[in-house]
Amino acid sequence: MNKVIFACVHNAGRSLMAEAFFNVMVDPQKARAVSAGTQPGDQAHPEVLAAMREIGIELPDVKPRLLTDDLAQDAQWLITLGCGEACPQVPGLRREDWPLDDPKGKSEVLVHRIRDELAARVAGLLEREGWMRAG
């Protein structure tokens, strides 16, 4: 089973959306995703929850969490989300950085743009790795 970690600083926006898209689109026999942050926030950004709800993905119990060694120990991938120097490093994992703006406090139009870009990038990763859910 492949495990992908989506990480940013606060785990309250981009990484939560990426995790949700991944786990909706993936073949669950091939991979799964988790998200975490180096300095987790207290809660998910409300504008992110609203944007995901608009496309039918509810995240009612989501809570930002800390990226720990235990969380990363059985992962193969770390995908960071545009946090620059503050992005976490986990030695030994395949790594990509997707440079996307933090949706916190952004207009609805910009939050939708970030959400849709994440969906497209997640779909591209799943297709490239052969992990896309059939049908």
**CATH number of the domain residue 96 falls in:** 3.40.50.2300
Q: CA angle 1-3-13, nearest 5°?
A: 150
Report yes or no on 135 lying in a domain: no
Would residue 134 count as lying in a domain?
no
Q: Nearest-5° angle of CA 26, CA 46, CA 11?
A: 55
Q: Would residue 86 count as lying in a domain?
A: yes
| Residues 21-34 pLDDT 10s | 999 999 999 999 99
Angle between helices 46-54 and 108-129 (to 10 degrees): 70
Provide the mean pLDDT of the chain: 94
Residue numbers of the domain that contains 112: 2-129
Total structural domains in the chain?
1
Section 4-32 average pLDDT: 97
Collapsing DSSP to helix, strand or coil, 73 comes out as coil
More confidently predicted of 92 and 124: 124
